[in-house]
Amino acid sequence: MIMALVALLFVTGLAAPRPPAKADQILVVPFETPGRDGRTYWLGEAVSVLMADDMNARGLGAIPRQVREHA
């Protein structure tokens, strides 16, 4: 029954896959630290910034920290 419904949706075009967006972007969020300890909080932020910078250097389109913080 479910397979018939899924097949019907694809045949009618209601469940057609959407075309990919023009520019896919990756959101890298900081790692959580236990208790939001100030001594280790910066590590989570630093790792996320380094990962995003590395992804951007490879052309993968990661969202920069400034944009993430603004959002």
For residue range 46-67, list pLDDT tens digits in order: 899 999 999 999 989 999 888 8
pLDDT given at position 30: 87
- φ and ψ at 37, to 5 degrees? -60, 125
Q: Is residue 11 part of a domain?
A: no
Q: Is residue 63 part of a domain?
A: yes
Q: Is residue 27 part of a domain?
A: yes
Q: Which domain holds residue 45?
A: 21-70
25, 61 Cβ separation under 8 angstroms? yes
Query: CA–CA distance from 12 to each of 21, 41, 54 (Å)?
Result: 23, 51, 42
pLDDT given at position 10: 59
Q: Is residue 7 part of a domain?
A: no
Distance CA 48, CA 29 (A): 6
For residue range 1-57, list pLDDT tens digits in order: 556 555 555 555 554 455 555 568 899 988 887 777 777 888 888 899 999 999 999
Query: CA–CA distance from 22 to each of 7, 19, 51 (Å)?
Result: 28, 9, 22
Q: Please tell me the pTM assigned to this model.
A: 0.60
Distance CA 13, CA 16 (A): 5
